[in-house]
């Protein structure tokens, strides 16, 4: 059967593909340490689960408003306001089924055929795919490891053309863990205002910053920036709620209305019970968030230390999120013990999974061939065991 042409514009997510391969090996009884999925290994905090149970008993089993329940939208508006020091109205907030859907809605509401989207790279795999599905042309602007993977503003400025419509910023970054400083964000915001562009910020990891790195949201720079900014945020990473599928958008009301029109013709609304759980998250205590961040930091330090101890591996220290993104290009072109040639980072990840029993995601899927991504959103025991396996498998490669 003939499939739609638009599918030729995208590929399936390599992150999900490698996660599935690791899970398949585990199901067959193979002892695999998987660093593939960006998913906290912590359980959702108890008060959030209890709120969901109560909500089910009280009837949270039906449709809600497309944009989200009024109570949740008001609570999220206050949550955004506290986080960024700005006044937010509920009509500037929308609830969706995960950050990916929020980005999908925003891109399809804002981009026309032939518009250009500037995305600093390495970048999350879905930005480019969703932009292409919306008919846009993706312009990747590479960042440099020696600069902590924060893009140079002058490189972004050179990439702006007559069809540029949007700049996307993920900070803290998936996959690099880069956290953008205030000077860089102010300069990017100036470009957005000067050229009348839209700034989309993916803030899903904003609570996970380490070693003095500080999250900064550009809407705090003033009304001109805020009028051109779309914020994607949510509870998945910070509150260990990936499976609840809830995210929020903060944007000017006209953009929220356009996104609601799209959502109303797709999923209608995020699950009612998940919205009740999200309400408990944004209105509740943050002690669990602090505990998880401290533990993530311990794992981060251990993983980076272990990776840097492997001869031939170069690793920039991530300042946020829960990923390490080492350069493993020195191992490309080598051969496995069975004679298989490792031509690229995809082949290297397949070798490490099948023979090293450690699951990683190839950097090429993030726009960075020769790198691999490891998630330290797993136990310290897995961090230590998995990095040791990686070291052993890499040492077995021959010229």
User: Which of 283, 304, 327 finishes a domain?
Assistant: 283
Residue 384: give its domain's CATH number: 3.90.1150.10
On whether both 11 and 51 belong to a single domain, the answer is no
On whether both 383 and 238 belong to a single domain, the answer is no
User: Which of 224, 254, 283 finishes a domain?
Assistant: 283
pLDDT of 357 reads: 96
Residue 22 domain boundaries: 5-43+288-395
On whether both 249 and 116 belong to a single domain, the answer is yes
pLDDT of 105 reads: 98
pLDDT tens-digit readout, 39-68: 999 999 999 999 999 999 999 999 999 999
Residue 74: give its domain's CATH number: 3.40.640.10
On whether both 226 and 197 belong to a single domain, the answer is yes
On whether both 210 and 276 belong to a single domain, the answer is yes
On whether both 115 and 255 belong to a single domain, the answer is yes
3-state secondary structure the chain: CCCCHHHHHCCCCHHHHHHHHHHHHHHCCCCCEECCCCCCCCCCCHHHHHHHHHHHHCCCCCCCCCCCCHHHHHHHHHHHHHHHCCCCCHHHEEEECCHHHHHHHHHHHHCCCCCEEEEEECCCHHHHHHHHHCCCEEEEEECCHHHCCCCCHHHHHHHCCCCEEEEEEECCCCCCCCCCCHHHHHHHHHHHHHCCCEEEEECCCCCCECCCCCCCCHHHHCHHHHCCEEEEEECCCCCCCHHHCCEEEECCHHHHHHHHHHHHCCCCCCCHHHHHHHHHHHHCCCHHHHHHHHHHHHHHHHHHHHHHCCCCCECCCCCECCEECCECHHHCCCECCCCCECCCHHHHHHHHHHCCCEECEEHHHHCCCCEEEEECCCCHHHHHHHHHHHHHHHHCCEC
**Ranges under pLDDT 70 in the chain:** none
On whether both 98 and 212 belong to a single domain, the answer is yes
Provide the domain count of the chain: 2
On whether both 270 and 302 belong to a single domain, the answer is no
**Is pTM, for the whole model, over 0.85?**
yes
pLDDT of 189 reads: 98
pLDDT tens-digit readout, 172-193: 999 999 999 999 999 999 999 9
On whether both 239 and 358 belong to a single domain, the answer is no
pLDDT of 395 reads: 98
pLDDT of 187 reads: 98
On whether both 222 and 323 belong to a single domain, the answer is no
On whether both 106 and 206 belong to a single domain, the answer is yes
On whether both 197 and 69 belong to a single domain, the answer is yes
pLDDT of 89 reads: 98
pLDDT of 62 reads: 97
User: Which of 253, 283, 313 finishes a domain?
Assistant: 283
């Amino acid at each position: 059967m003939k499939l739609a042409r638009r599918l030729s514009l995208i590929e399936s997510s390599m992150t999900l593909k490698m996660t599935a391969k690791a899970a398949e090996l585990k199901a067959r009884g193979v002892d695999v340490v998987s660093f593939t999925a960006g998913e906290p290994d912590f359980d959702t905090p108890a008060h959030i689960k209890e709120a969901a149970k109560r909500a089910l008993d009280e009837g949270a089993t039906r449709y809600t408003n497309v944009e989200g329940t009024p109570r949740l939208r008001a609570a999220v508006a206050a949550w955004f306001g506290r986080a960024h020091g700005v006044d937010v109205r509920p009509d500037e907030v929308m609830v969706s089924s995960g950050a990916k859907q929020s980005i999908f809605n925003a891109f399809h509401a804002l981009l026309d055929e032939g518009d250009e989207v500037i995305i600093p790279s390495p970048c999350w795999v879905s930005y480019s795919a969703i932009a292409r599905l919306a008919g846009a042309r993706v312009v990747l602007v590479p960042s440099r490891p020696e600069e902590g993977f924060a893009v140079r503003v002058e490189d972004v400025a050179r990439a702006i053309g007559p069809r540029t419509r949007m700049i996307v910023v993920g900070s803290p970054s998936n996959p690099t863990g880069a956290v953008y400083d205030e000077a860089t964000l102010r300069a990017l915001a100036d470009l957005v205002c000067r050229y009348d562009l839209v700034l989309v910020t993916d803030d899903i990891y904003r609570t996970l910053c380490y070693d003095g790195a500080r999250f900064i949201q550009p809407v705090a720079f003033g009304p001109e920036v805020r009028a051109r900014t779309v914020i994607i945020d949510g509870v998945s990473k910070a509150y260990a709620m990936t499976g609840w599928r809830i995210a929020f958008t903060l944007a000017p009301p006209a953009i929220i209305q356009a996104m609601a029109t799209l959502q109303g013709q797709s999923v209608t609304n995020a699950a009612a019970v998940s919205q009740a759980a999200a309400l408990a998250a944004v209105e509740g205590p943050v002690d669990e968030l602090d505990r998880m961040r401290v533990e993530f930091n311990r794992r981060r330090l251990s993983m980076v230390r272990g990776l840097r101890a492997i001869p031939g591996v170069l690793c920039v220290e991530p300042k946020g999120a829960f990923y390490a993104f080492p350069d493993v290009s020195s191992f490309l072109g080598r051969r496995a013990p069975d004679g298989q040639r490792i031509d690229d980072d995809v082949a290297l990840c397949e070798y490490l999974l099948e023979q090293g029993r450690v699951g990683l995601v190839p950097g090429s899927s993030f726009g960075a061939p020769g790198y691999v991504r490891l998630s330290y959103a797993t136990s310290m025991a897995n961090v230590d065991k998995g990095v040791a396996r990686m070291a052993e498998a890499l040492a077995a490669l021959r010229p």
